[in-house]
Structure 1
Amino acid sequence: MFTSHGPGVRELAVQALSSVERGYDLLAPKFDHTPFRTPERMLDAVEETLAQREGSFGAGLDVCCGTGAGIGMLRRLCRERVTGVDLSAGMLAEARRAHPDPRVDFVRADARALPPELAASYDLAVSFGAFGHFLPAERPALFAGVHAALREGGVFAFPIGAPIPPSHPLWWAVAGFDAAMRVRNAVWRPPFVMYYRTFPLSGVRADLRAAGFTVETAALEHFGRRPSGAPRWRLVLARRSARPHRVHVREGLGPVG
């Protein structure tokens, strides 16, 4: 799974025993040599689907941009500035090195509390591979922040995979990983939040609508379909609607939808 340029077992162990922010700071220089980086095939599929359905956009925002895998896609899709947001200073440093473009800027921030200066500034927001770092109770704050960052009619797009059936060996691998992470977080501090089964489409759709989005999905046909005919991957297209959005506050989570 890892190349000779990627992190070793000891480095991964140190990361796993750190906080999310510190862990990614440590992993950043070698992150692009791990299987955790979003594959080019996925980026190409999302870009092609967005271009076909929406055409081009004004400004673009990559939420939890990491080392900048999605920035090149946004540069091609967007006519105006492109911004990457991430909590890890180390990941942002790698992203800046990879994209020395005056039209691209990077902001260090928690995606659950995006800076007010980003409000109503973007026509497209994307995110890849980061949602496992947010507990279900944190999704409303995350989605409310993205909603606020978009201009009216703006789109929040991200891929989501079909549920893995329990009969598939991967289901057991993923379930085992999540169980191990729960045990780790119960006995070790600081926590490292990373789960694979906490982002179901039904719950995500409900939280997006509560945040003020209208939601549709498009099949990413590049990845084929399951025997049932359902797509293996979908692109969620959440559009900021014109209706007023009420913001509530939950203790400890900040503004949420």
Structure 2
Amino acid sequence: MFTAQGPTLTELAVQALSSTRRGYDLLAPAFDHTPFRTPDAILDPVREALETVGPFGAGLDICCGTGAGTALLRRVCTERVTGVDFSAGMLDVAARTSPAGPGPRVDWVQADARALPFRGAFDLAVSFGAFGHFLPAERPLLFAQAHAALRPGGCFAFPVVAPPGPDSWLYWALLGFDAAMRVRNALWRPRFVMYYRTFPLPGVLADLRAAGFSVELVPLAALGRRDDGAPRARLVIARRAGRPVPSGAS
């Protein structure tokens, strides 16, 4: 499951017994060698979908980790890109490994996604693989912060994968993981918040609309379809109301 450069089971155990922030600080040097990094198989279809929606000026990667989504933003944004994460360790790796070359400049900001230090500053915000770190009750605040960070007409975009059915081994694996995490957090402090089954699409769409977004779902065709014909993954494009601000305008 992990490469030779990835964390050992002992290191993962230590991280899992830490707080969410401290756990990611510890995991950061090896994070890109684990399955937790968003793979190109997801990033590439998302980028292609966003290229049909843009162009975009300024981009924000919420919970950027080591910068996989930030690299995507450099390909669809023309003005500037900002990665924000609460883990100093993850930001340090992102800053050191961010590829050089043509494209907008990248800034790295340490902040909690529930208290973003931005207002009306971005045309596009994305997030990859981070929503399991927020409890369902925190979604309204998280989405309100994303909404506030966008300019009028700006988009908040993220992929969602269709959940596995109960006839799949993955269904039971994720159910077991979440159950174990709930027991861990009931018995141990500090908490490590990471759940796989707390982001159901109907509730997510309701919370996005309550935050002031209009929402569109775009199938990510490259990721295939389930046996029932439904897309395996969709891109959620949540748009803040208003006329988009021309690139370079304040």
2:105 is aligned, of 103, 106, 130, to: 103
Q: Which residue of 2 aligns with 1:28?
A: 28
Aligned counterparts of 2:232 and 2:203: Cα–Cα separation in 1: 18
Aligned counterparts of 2:163 and 2:89: Cα–Cα separation in 1: 32
Q: Any idea what SS the aligned residue of 2:218 has?
A: strand
Q: Which residue of 2 aligns with 1:75?
A: 74
Aligned counterparts of 1:179 and 1:29: Cα–Cα separation in 2: 28
Choose 159-168 or 182-191, whichever is displaced more.
159-168
Q: Any idea what SS the aligned residue of 2:159 has?
A: strand
Q: Which residue of 1 aligns with 2:203?
A: 203
| 1:1-257 alignment, distance < 5 Å | 1-52=1-52, 54-99=53-98, 103-115=105-117, 118-242=118-242
Aligned counterparts of 2:163 and 2:188: Cα–Cα separation in 1: 30
Give the AA of the match of 1:111: A
Aligned counterparts of 2:62 and 2:54: Cα–Cα separation in 1: 21
Aligned counterparts of 2:227 and 2:10: Cα–Cα separation in 1: 40
Aligned counterparts of 2:120 and 2:170: Cα–Cα separation in 1: 40
Q: Any idea what SS the aligned residue of 2:68 has?
A: coil
Aligned counterparts of 1:73 and 1:56: Cα–Cα separation in 2: 13
Aligned counterparts of 2:81 and 2:180: Cα–Cα separation in 1: 37
Q: Any idea what SS the aligned residue of 2:38 has?
A: coil
TM-superposed deviation, 1:227: 1.5
Q: Any idea what SS the aligned residue of 2:37 has?
A: coil
Aligned counterparts of 1:94 and 1:120: Cα–Cα separation in 2: 28
Give the AA of the match of 1:64: C
TM-score normalized with structure 2 length: 0.94
What CA RMSD, in Å, does the superposition of the two structures yield over aligned residues? Answer: 1.2
Aligned counterparts of 1:2 and 1:227: Cα–Cα separation in 2: 29
TM-superposed deviation, 1:242: 3.5
Aligned counterparts of 2:135 and 2:189: Cα–Cα separation in 1: 17
Q: Which residue of 2 aligns with 1:254?
A: none
TM-superposed deviation, 1:100: 6.5
Give the AA of the match of 2:19: S
Aligned counterparts of 1:235 and 1:204: Cα–Cα separation in 2: 13
Q: Which residue of 2 aligns with 1:255?
A: none
Aligned counterparts of 2:232 and 2:99: Cα–Cα separation in 1: 35
TM-superposed deviation, 1:14: 0.2
> Could you say if the C-alpha distance between residues 215 and 6 of structure 1 is closer, same or farther in structure 2, counting changes exceeding 3 Å?
same
- Gaps of at least 5 residues in structure 1 are 244-257
In the comparison of the two structures, how many residue pairs are matched? Answer: 240
Q: Which residue of 2 aligns with 1:253?
A: none
Aligned counterparts of 2:125 and 2:208: Cα–Cα separation in 1: 13
TM-score normalized with structure 1 length: 0.91
Aligned counterparts of 2:45 and 2:19: Cα–Cα separation in 1: 32
> Could you say if the C-alpha distance between residues 100 and 161 of structure 1 is closer, same or farther in structure 2, counting changes exceeding 3 Å?
closer
- Runs of 4+ in structure 1 off by over 4 angstroms are none
